[in-house]
Amino acid sequence: MNIQAMMKQAQKLQSDMLKAKEEIDKMEFSSTNGLVTVKINGKKEVVSVKIENDSSFSSDDLEMLQDMFMIAINEAMKQVDKIVEEKMGRFGSVPGLF
């Protein structure tokens, strides 16, 4: 196989990987555990947190609590991503690997 064919194959692989990553980023995933449902997107960002109201919270308090959970989880995920970048960045960038 010549170098030009290998480069073309590598470019196609990279393009396919980026398309797959974009597709995953647009997806949403959810998990329910008892009274709590969390929905995230493919970028690992929390889109929503829903806590079933057992009438001990007002609707405003419940909404604020759900927002606080979402913000806290997203901030923790950003901290993980930062450390992964710091520790793994020296190995080079492979789209979608981390």
Distances (CA, A) of 35 to 8, 53, 59, 66, 89: 51, 8, 15, 12, 39
Residue 93 has pLDDT above 70, yes or no: no
Provide the whole-model pTM. 0.65
Instruction: Give residue-wise pLDDT tens across range 63-92.
Output: 898 899 889 998 988 888 888 888 877 776
Domains of the chain from N-terminus onward:
3-89 (3.30.1310)
Of residues 96 and 62, more confidence is placed in 62
| Distance separating alpha carbons of residues 5 and 90, to the nearest angstrom | 28
Residue environment code for 62-71, b if the CB has 16+ CB neighbours within 10 A, otherwise e: beeebeebbe
Nearest alpha-carbon partner for 46 in 29, 64, 24, 63: 29
